[in-house]
Structures are given as C-alpha cells and as structure tokens.
Structure 1
Amino acid sequence: SRNYQPQEMATHAAFLRMPDEVWAWYLYRRGVCHSAEPNDAHRAVAELERKLGDRFVLITQNVDGIHLRAGNTLQRTYQIHGNIDFIRCGADCCVDLFPMPEGLDLQWDRGRPVTDHERAILRCPECGQLARPYVLWFDECYDEERFRFQSSIQAAGAADLLVVVGTAGQTNLPLQVGELVARRGAPMVVVNPDPSPFTQFAEQSERGLFLQGTAGELIPPLGERIAERLGG
C-alpha cells in the first residue's frame, strides 16, 4: 500500500471516498501515539490541575490523549483537535463521543488493511452507521459541541494567566486564544525551543515572558511556581 500524507488522509472528503484506508491510517497512528508515555511536563500539567481545580483549563491541540493518560481530567481538558482514542458517528446522527471499540489491536502495522470484523465494530453505537475518528480534519471547522471553540475563547477572555507550551502557532483557534489574552493585557508565559507567533505576543506585552527551552525542563518548576502564586 502507498504511504499517504496527512493532507491526503486527514480530510472528510478522503473518509467519504475511502473509509477503510482512512481508518487503517488512523489505527496505525493510534498505536504510534500509545507508544509514547507522559513525560515530566505532562505530569506537571496534571499536577497543576489538581492544585488549581476549577481555576484551571487545558487547551490542547494534541490528538494523542496523552494529557488524559498523564492525569488531566476530560472536564477541564479542551481537546480542540480531537482524541484518537474516541470515535463519533460518521453520519452525524449525534454529537456524542464514544471510546474506541474493544477488539481493535492497539499495535497496528503500517499498511495493514481493515478486516470485515473490524469494520463491523467501527460503528456508531446510536445509529449503526460507520463511525469516524474523533479528530478535526483539514477540511472541517471548529465548533463548540465537539471541539470546545466557544469555551476556549471564553477561557481566554477570563484567564488570569496563559501558559503556551510547545506549539508553532500554525492553527487558528490557538492563535485566537493567544491574541485575545495579549489584547487584554493578561500575563502570558510562552515555553518553546524556538520563537513562534506566541513569542511575539509575549514580547509585545508588558506582562509577557518567553522562556526558551524544552517543556520537560521548564514546565515542572514553572508549574510549582504558578501553584504557589495562584493556588488556594
């Protein structure tokens, strides 16, 4: 089988045209995601949620679910690009999300096709139509019901502090969040090995700070400092 590029496979159009190939591609990627374990930065973010409680919101572009595996809660984690461990109805009969069905191999060889049995269990529990991965595809838009668009904007409008970690700033909603916080003049800390549009927001703000380095080394001490300052 050929090696598809994300721009070819991560679209609703591709799913309608070749659903088996799209599912096989995502099941392989799911196995790759699960081969990664939470690191010190992920654990520090989860610990910060435990300390701040309902004053904490995590907006993540990651679809690997690693923040949930590190200990963050689904309630306070806005998965704005989805989560590869969940499915939704491919026919949009509802907005509900469902865990990936049991009976699917977690380790999926690249290029392995979907079998009749696997196709039979990759179904919407509500209507029985073929399910699709819970991910935001390139030819789709953010919404509130599935991707917490309005909730993310509201969080940015009320945040006492925004910490931006490890993103190149190439997608729309995160940039809106950063721009809104910067426009409000709220404190912003950007942690990244390289400059990004978010570092520009931070550097243009009197209350912004760019910490150049890796999340693994910088987030644990930063999380402790934030908990000391903002914790109850």
Structure 2
Amino acid sequence: MIPQDLQQFLREFYHSDQKVLFLTGAGISAESGIPTFRGDDGYWTIGSQNYTPMQIATQWMFHQYPRKVWRWVLHYFNNARHAQPNPGHEVIARLEPLFGSERFKLVTQNVDGLHLAAGNTHDNTYTIHGTLAQVRCSHSCDEIVPFPADLGHYTKGDIMPEEEWEKLACPECDELMRPHVLFFDEYYNEPYNKYESALRAAFEADLLVVVGTTGATSLPWLIFETVMNNDKPIIAINLEPTTFTQTVEVNELGWVLFGKSGEILPEIEKAIMNDQ
C-alpha cells in the first residue's frame, strides 16, 4: 500500500493540467524475465579474456570484433524476444491515454520494446538507448531497417552459419549492419536517442516517476537533475537503494517506494482511478 499522502497527491495531480514523465530502466523489464547482465550471465569470452557488457557493447569492440559483439547482442535478443510486458509495463501503457498525449511522456533506457508492446505510443515514448527492433548500417549510408525477422535464435556457444550473417548485411551497401542501440562508448543524439526531446520533457514535467533505474548513465541523471532543479516532485521506485532513491530521500524531493514495480505501479494506478 502506498502512503496516504501520496494517494491524495496523485488524485489531485490527475485532476490538474500538469504533466507527468516516466523514466524507466532495466528493473522494470527484469520482472518480465529479461536479465540485467550484472551477474555471471553478463560475462562474455573472446579468446582467453572475459568481458563485461560495458566492455563488449562498445563501438570500439564492434569495429575490432563485429561478429563477436553481434553474438553477444543476439544472446541478449534471444532472451528478450519472447518476453511479455508485465503489470508495471501495462500500468504505464494505460496511464498514457488516461493523462492524454499533452500531459504524458515516457523515457526508457530499455531496448526490449516491452513498453510499446504493452501499448505505449511511439510519439510519447523516447527510447534513449535505442531498440533491438531495428538495425542500422555500420558504415556511411546509415540505413535503418527492421531487425531481420527470419534470423534464427542464437545464444552463448552457438555457431551462426554464413547464410545467417548475410541477413545482417546492409541492403544499400552490403556492409555489416549494427544493432540500433547506444553503445557504452557513444554519445546521445536526437536522431537516434531523442536526446533533446527527453530533456525537453524533463524541463516541462511537473512530476517525475523513476522506475527500476540506478542513475548510472548520464542522460537519465540529467533528466532527474532537471526535474529536481525545477523543484518538482519525484517518485522513485526500486527494489533496493540507488543514487536516485537516496537523492530523493536526502533532499525530501517526494516519495521513495521500495519493491517490485509490477506491484507498486498498480497501486499508483488504483489511487488515480479511485477518484474518477
């Protein structure tokens, strides 16, 4: 059960004309069975060297070992492709039409597409780290196309036949495509990551709801900082303490709710719906 004062705030907020911004990270999708790759499953071996996701999912590594990086991405994609939206995703999707397009925005760090699968719209969803649903040319033509639907399922240790690799060739220049995601050594921009759009949403937000993210990357923290500096309330939801939850608590910025987002977000929806 969420606190009474938060329930009252949510009811009053819904009946105002103020804007809400959701910021989501890996924690919400972990409840759909998608690993965060923080444990042993995240390590990948190239030669005799073990690499973490932060080391292998880089532009530099892709240029050095493109097929090995692709195998890591396909291993992740194989885990994600059959995942289904959980109650947390579904609540956020239902809240979008409830608030309306002018009052609702969603920024997600997740590349799994579960928010869109749950029903959120492309127009109001900023996938700042890209999406596994698309690939783009790794060379100059920069062609963006859907992920090959007929590509097989591959995971750690699988050998991918040459004819399968051909499905990842750019239709324009025949060079190898790359995942349409933000590698760890790349910078955000507007065309690929909706950088300016996300910051504008943060500047205009009257309430920020942070779900399942630690604040370890720059743009999510900048979004959080923008809302904080505008003296707007923040609701931070996570299983355990993070930079976000600690900052909210120390500075008395709003509410910190520890637990599963799939259990807490329905309570938030209930608080809003009970007053309709």
Q: Same fold (TM over 0.5)?
A: yes
Residue among 101, 106, 112 paired with 1:58: 106
Residue among 171, 186, 190 paired with 1:144: 190
Map of 2:132 onto structure 1 = 84
Q: Which is further off, 8-17 or 196-205?
A: 196-205
Deviation readout 1:128-151 (Å, 9 max, x if unpaired): 321100111111111111011111
Map of 2:236 onto structure 1 = 190
Q: Is the 8 A contact 1:21 1:113 kept in 2?
A: no
1:45 matched to 2:92: yes
Deviation readout 1:20-73 (Å, 9 max, x if unpaired): 111122111101112432111111111111222312111111111111222212
| d(CA) in 1 for partners of 2:173, 2:116 | 28
SS in 1 for 2:237: strand
Q: Is the 8 A contact 1:49 1:72 kept in 2?
A: yes
| Deviation at residue 181 of structure 1 after TM alignment | 0.3
Match for 1:132: what amino acid? R
| Deviation at residue 161 of structure 1 after TM alignment | 1.1
| d(CA) in 2 for partners of 1:227, 1:186 | 23
Q: Is the 8 A contact 2:154 2:160 kept in 1?
A: no
What root-mean-square deviation, in Å, do the aligned CA atoms of Structure 1 and Structure 2 show? Answer: 2.2
Residue among 107, 121, 133 paired with 2:179: 133
Match for 1:13: what amino acid? W
| Deviation at residue 89 of structure 1 after TM alignment | 1.4
| d(CA) in 2 for partners of 1:199, 1:5 | 26
Q: Percent same amino acid at aligned positions? A: 42
Deviation readout 1:84-141 (Å, 9 max, x if unpaired): 22111111423x5321013202x32322233221221212334332110011111111
| d(CA) in 2 for partners of 1:155, 1:186 | 13
Instruction: Rate the CA distance shift 1:12–1:227 in 2: closer, same or farther, 3 A.
Output: farther
Counting matched residue pairs gives: 228
SS in 2 for 1:98: strand
Map of 2:68 onto structure 1 = 21
Q: Is the 8 A contact 2:71 2:155 kept in 1?
A: no
Instruction: Rate the CA distance shift 1:206–1:227 in 2: closer, same or farther, 3 A.
Output: farther
Instruction: Rate the CA distance shift 1:117–1:199 in 2: closer, same or farther, 3 A.
Output: same
Task: For CA contacts below 8 A with separation 6 or more, give which structure has more relative contact order.
Answer: 2
Match for 2:182: what amino acid? L
1:208 matched to 2:254: yes
Match for 2:125: what amino acid? T
Q: Which runs of 5+ in 1 are unaligned?
A: none
Q: TM-score, normalised by structure 1?
A: 0.89
SS in 2 for 1:104: coil
Match for 1:121: what amino acid? K
Q: Is the 8 A contact 1:191 1:215 kept in 2?
A: yes
| d(CA) in 2 for partners of 1:203, 1:8 | 32
| d(CA) in 2 for partners of 1:24, 1:215 | 31
Q: Is the 8 A contact 2:136 2:180 kept in 1?
A: yes
SS in 1 for 2:93: helix
Q: Which runs of 5+ in 2 are unaligned?
A: 1-43
1:217 matched to 2:229: no
| Deviation at residue 191 of structure 1 after TM alignment | 0.9
SS in 2 for 1:26: helix
1:124 matched to 2:170: yes
Match for 1:144: what amino acid? E
| d(CA) in 2 for partners of 1:119, 1:46 | 36
| d(CA) in 2 for partners of 1:93, 1:31 | 27
Residue among 161, 177, 181 paired with 2:227: 181
Instruction: Rate the CA distance shift 1:109–1:203 in 2: closer, same or farther, 3 A.
Output: closer
Residue among 27, 34, 52 paired with 2:81: 34
